[in-house]
């Protein structure tokens, strides 16, 4: 056998990834992360809003009971509502309480909701 009859075939080993492949993967992962963070932030904000509104809804029956007992909303405070009417009244601030009206606020994670009572809805609009 002659030397020229022997062919040595070398295969090139391709271990690892090219720089272009790594950059492409990083770009895709960055896009997915941006979408996930945006969705998480929105969901967290919606949860905070729902919690703040729920705090007010839970407290409304105590406000009405206070009025029935006293004939006025004046003097209505969170400690008084909790001790006399409902221990479940939490995370609500009595902004004002007058003879026939009140204003309460609930803030969760910096998101404030208000109710100017007794007949208005729970809104983000400040009341006095």
Please report the DSSP string for 19-83 in residue order: HHHHHHHHHHHHHHHHHHHHHHHHHHHHHHHHHHHHHHHHHHHHHHHHHHHHSSSTT--HHHHHH
* Residue 128 located in a structural domain: no
**Residue 37: pLDDT band by 50, 70, 90 thresholds?**
confident
Mean pLDDT of 5-21: 73
Percent of the chain with pLDDT over 70: 89
pTM (2 decimals)?
0.71
Q: For 98-118, how does the pLDDT look when each residue is reduced to its tens digit (9 = 90+)? A: 999 999 999 999 999 999 989
| DSSP-based three-state secondary structure for 16 | coil
Residue 61 lies in a domain: yes
Domain housing 111 = 16-123
- Say if 88 falls within a structural domain: yes
User: Is 27 inside a domain boundary?
Assistant: yes
Let me know if residue 9 belongs to a domain: no
- 108 lies in a domain? yes
Question: Is residue 11 very low, low, confident or very high in pLDDT (cuts 50, 70, 90)?
Answer: low
Total number of domains constituting the chain: 1
């Amino acid at each position: 056998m002659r030397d020229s009859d022997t062919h040595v075939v070398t295969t090139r080993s391709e271990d690892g990834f090219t720089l272009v492949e790594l950059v492409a993967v990083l770009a895709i992962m960055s896009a997915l992360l941006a979408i996930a963070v945006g969705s998480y932030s929105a969901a967290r904000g919606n949860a905070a809003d729902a919690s703040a509104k729920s705090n007010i809804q839970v407290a409304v029956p105590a406000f009405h009971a206070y009025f029935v007992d006293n004939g006025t909303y004046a003097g209505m405070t969170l400690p008084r509502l909790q001790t006399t009417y409902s221990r479940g009244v939490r995370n609500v601030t009595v902004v004002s309480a007058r003879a026939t009206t009140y204003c309460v606020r609930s803030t969760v994670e910096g998101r404030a909701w208000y109710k100017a009572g007794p007949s208005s809805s729970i809104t983000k609009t400040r009341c006095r």
